[in-house]
Amino acid sequence: ITDVSTGGPYIDTNTQYLLSSAYLVFFMHCGFAMISIGCVRARFARHIAVLILIDACASALGFYLFGFAFAFGDKTDADGNVAGNPFIGSQYFALHGLDGPTYFATAVRPYAFWVFEWAFAATACTIVSGAIAERARVEAYAIYSFFMAAWVYPVIVHSVWSSAGWASMFRTAPNFLGYFAKGSGAIDFAGSGAVHMVGGYAAAAGCWIIGPRIGRFNADGTANDFAGHNSSLFVLGVMILWFGWYGFNPGSQLVLVGGTNSFAVSVCAVTTTLAPAAAGLSSLLTKAIVTHFTTGKHVYDVGVMGNGALAGLVAITSGTSTVYPWAALIIGGIAGSLYVFASWVSIKLKLDDPLDAIAVHGWNGTWGVLAVGFFASETLITNSYGLNQDGEVRPYGCFFPGGNGALLAAQIAYALWIAGWVLGNMIPFWLLLKYTGLLRATADEEALGLDSSHHGGSAYAGGMEDDKSHTNGAA
């Protein structure tokens, strides 16, 4: 947010910009559903679909009741300045009071802001489903999804996106609990950290605690390939996600009208294009080269290319408004190869992650947060965030002359905070579910396929068979 042109028509235009972005972000949920369905085995298709629909529903409930309030419910003082505490918000529970005056109501309708932020919360929640797919119980997942949207995720959001948050660029008091000067918070523009690291680290904890699917790893440490049952739906999901990311990133400028806001939005659209393009190509090539040297035959793997492009999108998400197009190509190019490496690491660690959520969101979310410390440009930071509260240029990437490392330090501190908060909350949470027996389906249910044991039968009744007997055979 730079200058805001206030007054009715601008609020109206900003509101529609924010809402149409929110709709695109919600549609990413559909993309997650499709990649998830595509990446599980056919007898778990209904199972994973139920988990992802639960994410949409339970996150709405959790974010309505508590999440938004914890994330953005900061009080204002008599002068209208934000006077919340740096850790957590304390009003707007169940949207109470959100139709009255708020500190953001001069720029956009607060209800629209809720919808936008909920769509992000749903995204953070759903990242986890892939990592514990084919074995998690529905009941456990519903509890998790509410817990994530109502508590774990909002606290991170408050720290970096609320005007009162201790790591926020919008904070007028000193950031990082007094350590950094005003206006030098962490840059996590659209949430490589707040959304993707949060989801990815929660997924890692869950994946580790729930354990691998039966038969995935052999006694000698080798892994069996549990290939997903539908690459076509996977590709559909990837392209829906890329499409939806144009709401996720450009929408995160939050306001459109006034100052250089629409310029920053446009920068986001460019970098959100170039990073996945570079990442798609680099992941495809990396895998082809690796398979060439390990098997003598290069494989052009659509699964790797799709996840690679997503990794590029994840990685650019922190810096999308503040890095130049060439830097987006570098960030994305590295993300694509990093994904291939991280996916291999998951296997080595016996983390059985059917969707590669840890490699895509955890690793590349971290890379995205750190990359800003190198590549965020002085000009584009001012373009997107304006000058700091004293009218001074904010710290910028250490790749550039004068980028003194202050921003990189902030990014590192912020990344450590996310890792600590998420793992500190989620490890006990998953362990609690595990030891109460809620977490995982029985071995029999899993072997049968959860669609049969829990969801009323196969997702593909007749297995496409009933038509063949009619069209290929005698009628």
Binding to a second copy, residues 323-382 (CB under 8 A): 325-326, 329
Q: Mark 382-401 with x for binding to a second copy (rule: CB under 8 A) and - for no binding.
A: --------------------
Q: Which member of 1, 24, 35, 148 binds a second copy (CB under 8 A)?
A: 24
Minimum distance from CB of 298 to a second copy (Å)? 8
Minimum distance from CB of 175 to a second copy (Å)? 28
- Number of Cβ within 10 Å of residue 239's Cβ equals 15
Q: Which residue has the tokens 């503040």?
A: 322
Q: Which member of 82, 112, 121, 124 binds a second copy (CB under 8 A)?
A: 112
- Concatenate the DSSP letters of all residues of 207-262 into one string: HHHH-PPTTSB-TTS-B-----S-HHHHHHHHHHHHHHHHHHTGGGG---SSTTHH
Q: Which residue has the tokens 């972000």?
A: 25
- Picking from 188, 156, 155, 191, the residue whose alpha carbon sits closest to that of residue 169 is 188
Helix (H, G, I), strand (E, B) or coil at 323: coil
CA dihedral of residues 209, 210, 212, 213 (deg, nearest 10): 180
Q: Which is nearer to a second copy, 7 or 178 (CB)?
A: 7
| Residues within window 273-302 making contact with a second copy, judged by CB under 8 A | 273-274, 276-278, 280-281, 284, 291, 299-302
Minimum distance from CB of 265 to a second copy (Å)? 7
| Residues within window 71-110 making contact with a second copy, judged by CB under 8 A | 94-95, 99, 109-110
Minimum distance from CB of 383 to a second copy (Å)? 9
Minimum distance from CB of 66 to a second copy (Å)? 14
Contact between 204 and 132 (Cβ < 8 Å): no
Contact call for residue 46 and a second copy (CB under 8 A): yes
| Residues within window 232-251 making contact with a second copy, judged by CB under 8 A | 232-233, 235-236, 238-240, 242-243, 246-247, 250
User: Cα–Cα–Cα angle for 343, 348, 352, nearest 5°?
Assistant: 65
Q: Which residue has the tokens 């294009």?
A: 273
Contact between 273 and 323 (Cβ < 8 Å): no
Q: Which member of 1, 2, 4, 10 binds a second copy (CB under 8 A)?
A: 10
Q: Which is nearer to a second copy, 2 or 168 (CB)?
A: 2
Contact call for residue 29 and a second copy (CB under 8 A): yes
What's the token pair of residue 397?
A: 């990437």
Minimum distance from CB of 172 to a second copy (Å)? 25
